[in-house]
């Protein structure tokens, strides 16, 4: 039943049950025809139907290794891999082709063997024999690689597919250069065939264009190799000479600049004396020296023996002089350094005197401040006493004035 308060209103159906909700559309929208949205026809828009089952089967069981992700734009030998997906089947075909040709298969095998050889070489350098706990050692893998290379060589693919089928794995750059030279030679016309006019112009246009790319990393590698060779030579020199100053002093004793180049030049000049043309002169000089030594020995025998204490003192003086040879070489430099520091020492002395005077003046100022403080305290106490006396005098005068006023 309808609510009694709506009983007398027109347009109310009092005999029907009350309806609070309805699934019908509003009256304005009930008669609107349902039309599908019109699609824009454009040839540039490609409409493709995606088969979800086929896409699921294509990517089923696949995974991405985030540890080897590489989106860098490097220009190296190996291309960027993006997300690394592990797989057990490798192929080297063009996009859209289903099967590899025989040439593509052999090139893929050669490329994989070369990469495997590089990885094994890196493992041999990094893994030590003591810390190797793997079941397959790099040495055994290297032997298997050699066996695979021999198998590829035994197939004689160059005879079947031509020189483009194989590459030299040991020197791929050299093999590419050889192939480039052979192709250039094949494009050269024979000397007996000479054509003129339009045919010659057409032949001039029929040519092959090669682009040569410079690799800066190769130049850097050669520079590093030269630096490594230089460091190796320096290391050999350091091992031969060492850090002992006595060896260096012996080598550079007869030189002026105290350098290894001067020592080598001195040794070279001394070795030149041992030539066949100079041996007679050297022998004559040595004989003269031997005669003088014999004369000195005979004089020593004839002269009376020297006091042993005196001889001991002479030997001690000789040892002291020998020890001071190295110090004597450095002493002129020390003297020059002290002379250059003389002005600095004088300025430091003046600064020290100024600091002493400043300290004395500071002490005097401090004492005068203390004295002035004491005087100020005395003055303050005197002012307080005088103020009290002055106050008492004023009070006495006021009392007298009041007494006079009352009288």
Parent domain of 290: 273-318
Instruction: Confirm whether 1 is domain-assigned.
Output: no
Tens digits of residue pLDDT in 234-262: 888 877 777 677 777 777 776 766 777 77
Tens digits of residue pLDDT in 341-352: 888 889 999 999
The Cα–Cα gap between 96 and 104 comes to 15
The predicted pLDDT at position 356 comes to 93
- Between residues 74 and 14, the one the model is more confident about: 14
Could you tell me the CA-to-CA distances from 148 to 14, 110, 113, 210 in Å, in that order? 99, 10, 8, 33
The predicted pLDDT at position 70 comes to 67
* 312 shares a domain with 390: no
- Average pLDDT (277-281) is 78
Chain centroid, CA 230 distance in Å: 20
The predicted pLDDT at position 130 comes to 44
The predicted pLDDT at position 261 comes to 78
Beta pairing partners, 64: 85
* 313 shares a domain with 374: no
- Between residues 185 and 91, the one the model is more confident about: 185
Indicate the angle between helix axes 102-126 and 138-154, nearest 10 degrees. 160
Question: Residues of the chain with pLDDT > 90: what percent?
Answer: 14
Tens digits of residue pLDDT in 308-319: 788 888 888 888
Instruction: Confirm whether 395 is domain-assigned.
Output: yes
258 Ramachandran zone, left/alpha/beta (phi>0; psi -120 to 50): left
The predicted pLDDT at position 132 comes to 47
**For residues 69 and 84, is the Cβ–Cβ distance under 8 A?**
yes
Instruction: Confirm whether 311 is domain-assigned.
Output: yes
* 278 shares a domain with 356: no
**Among residues 166, 186, 206, which one ends one of the domains?**
186
Could you tell me the CA-to-CA distances from 109 to 103, 179, 205 in Å, in that order? 10, 20, 38
**For residues 90 and 104, is the Cβ–Cβ distance under 8 A?**
no
In degrees, to the nearest 5, what angle opens at C-alpha 303 toward C-alphas 297 and 307?
105
The predicted pLDDT at position 98 comes to 56
Tens digits of residue pLDDT in 158-215: 555 555 555 554 555 666 677 777 777 776 665 554 555 545 555 545 566 666 666 7
* 353 shares a domain with 302: no
Q: What is the pTM of this model?
A: 0.22
pLDDT mean across residues, the chain = 75
Question: Residues of the chain with pLDDT > 70: what percent?
Answer: 65
Q: Mind giving me the DSSP string for 87-114? A: -S------TT--S--HHHHHHHHHHHHH
Instruction: Confirm whether 171 is domain-assigned.
Output: yes
3-state secondary structure of 85: strand
Structural domains of the chain, count: 3
Instruction: Confirm whether 47 is domain-assigned.
Output: no
The predicted pLDDT at position 169 comes to 47
Beta pairing partners, 85: 64
**For residues 167 and 103, is the Cβ–Cβ distance under 8 A?**
no
* 346 shares a domain with 299: no
Instruction: Confirm whether 38 is domain-assigned.
Output: no
Closest by CA to 116, choosing from 86, 95, 146, 88, is 146
């Amino acid at each position: 039943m309808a609510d009694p308060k709506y009983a007398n209103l027109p347009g109310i159906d009092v005999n029907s049950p009350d309806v609070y909700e309805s699934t019908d559309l509003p009256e304005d929208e009930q008669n609107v025809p349902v039309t599908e949205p019109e699609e824009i026809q454009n040839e540039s828009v490609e409409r493709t139907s995606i088969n979800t089952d086929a896409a699921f089967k294509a990517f089923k069981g696949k995974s991405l290794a985030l540890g080897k992700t590489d989106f860098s734009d490097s220009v190296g030998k190996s291309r960027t891999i993006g997300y690394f997906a592990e797989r057990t089947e490798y192929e080297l075909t063009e996009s859209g082709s289903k099967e590899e040709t025989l040439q593509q298969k052999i090139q893929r095998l050669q490329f994989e063997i070369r990469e495997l050889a590089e990885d094994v070489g890196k493992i041999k350098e990094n893994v030590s024999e003591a810390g190797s706990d793997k079941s397959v050692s790099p040495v055994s893998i290297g032997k298997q690689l050699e066996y695979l290379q021999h198998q590829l060589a035994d197939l004689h693919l160059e005879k079947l597919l031509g020189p483009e089928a194989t590459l030299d794995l040991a020197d791929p750059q050299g093999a590419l250069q050889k192939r480039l030279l052979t192709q250039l030679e094949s494009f050269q016309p024979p000397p007996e065939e000479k054509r003129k006019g339009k045919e010659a112009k057409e032949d001039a246009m029929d040519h092959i264009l090669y682009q040569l790319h410079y690799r800066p990393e190769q130049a850097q590698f050669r520079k590093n190799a030269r630096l490594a060779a230089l460091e190796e030579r320096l290391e050999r020199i350091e091992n031969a000479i060492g850090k002992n100053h006595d060896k260096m002093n012996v080598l550079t004793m007869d030189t002026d600049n105290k350098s290894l180049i001067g020592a080598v030049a001195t040794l070279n000049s001394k070795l030149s004396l041992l030539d066949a043309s100079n041996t007679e002169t050297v022998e004559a000089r040595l004989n003269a020296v031997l005669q003088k030594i014999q004369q000195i020995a005979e004089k020593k025998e004839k002269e009376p023996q020297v006091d042993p204490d005196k001889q001991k003192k002479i030997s001690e003086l000789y040892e002291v002089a020998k020890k001071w040879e190295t110090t004597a070489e450095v002493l002129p430099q020390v003297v020059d350094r002290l002379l250059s520091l003389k002005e600095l020492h004088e300025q430091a002395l003046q600064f020290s005197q100024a600091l002493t005077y400043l300290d004395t003046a500071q002490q005097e100022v401090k004492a005068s401040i203390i004295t002035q403080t004491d005087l100020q305290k005395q003055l303050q106490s005197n002012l307080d006493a005088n103020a009290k006396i002055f106050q008492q005098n004023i009070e006495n005068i006021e009392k007298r004035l009041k007494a006079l006023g009352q009288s």
